[in-house]
Amino acid sequence: MSYDTTTIRPGWHGETTTIIKTKHVTASNTSRKTRLIVIATAAVATVVAAAVSFGFLVPSATQAPLDPNLAAADAAREIGNTDVNVGLAQNANAASTIEQVNVAAADALAADTQVKAQLALAKQTAVSAGQVGLAEAKAAWAKAMKTAGTSAYKWANAGSGAPVPVPDGAFIWPTKYTYISSPFGWRTDPVYGGSEFHTGVDLATPCGTPIYASGDGIVSYSGWNGSYGNYIEINHGQLSTGYGHQSKLVAKVGDHVSQGDLIGYVGSTGKSTGCHVHFLAINGKGQYFDPTTLIH
């Protein structure tokens, strides 16, 4: 530094003189200041760069603070998407299950329809077979009645008729057991359904139980008789008695039998649902009447 000029300025009241020296900075001094400034600037830049790299001055994109509300919304959205996907999958599985159930139901309906058709065919076949057997039985009945010296049975007039009065003790139950499982008259057909006229009474008793003649008479029929199965009929003069569904026949057409004689054994032949004897009575007009009126 050097002083190269002098300035004289008047003092106050002209009494003193002030000497002012002008300071000049040398070139060397200026260079030193410049270097200091550069060094300081570089140091500040270094500090700033370090601060930025550590995220002190500029927030990092990966470390940027999140709004709690936005974070909760994002989490809820993610859960919602997951629930929607799960729901769609469950709906797909439910639809598949429903389709399987519909297919199974259709198969079951088709099978049920087929079974019903087969049952209807079987029933029709059985009815047809029964009608054929009945026609054969009618012819055999007429022949037997003619052989016994009586008029042929009038099938067209068959039905409920007036009982025939008989003396006490003239007739007995044909079996040891007298439990009536089905009475005389109209009933529901136990095999085919619908209404039918039951021509006698069913005496339920074990198969093989002996059957006896209910009264004195002549055997007018012995053999197969359609729905009655193995059947025997005895002509007592004013009336006839019948014994159906036998397992074995003993008496033969033309045999004279007395009350209590063995004529056969209980069975379940013909249209029958179990072991029993079908006991019936026919008056002189060829009409059925309740056989229990004979037993007294």
Q: Write the DSSP symbol of residue 44.
A: H
Instruction: State pTM to two decimals.
Output: 0.49
Rounded to 5°, angle at Cα 36 from 35 and 39: 85
Helix residue ranges per DSSP H, the chain: 27-53, 68-147
Spatial separation of the C-alpha atoms in residues 144 and 228, rounded to whole Å: 16
Class of domain 131-294: mainly beta
Per-residue pLDDT tens listing for the chain (296 residues)? 544 444 445 554 444 444 555 454 444 455 666 666 656 666 656 655 555 455 544 444 444 455 666 666 666 567 666 665 666 666 666 566 667 656 665 665 665 566 556 556 655 655 555 555 555 655 555 555 444 443 333 333 456 899 999 999 999 999 998 899 999 988 887 887 788 888 999 999 999 999 999 999 999 999 999 999 999 999 999 999 999 999 999 999 999 999 999 999 999 999 999 999 999 999 999 999 999 999 99
The residues, ordered by sequence, that sit 6+ positions from 129 with a Cβ below 8 Å of its Cβ are none
66 touches 75 (CB < 8 A): no
pLDDT of residue 148: 42
> Structural domain boundaries of the chain?
2-53, 131-294
Query: Residue 104: enclosing H or E segment and its boundaries?
Result: helix 68-147
Name residue, tokens 């033969």. 252
268 touches 262 (CB < 8 A): no
- Of residues 202, 192, 221, the one with CA closest to residue 267: 202
- Of residues 226, 185, 233, 179, the one with CA closest to residue 202: 179
Spatial separation of the C-alpha atoms in residues 26 and 1, rounded to whole Å: 6
pLDDT of residue 88: 62
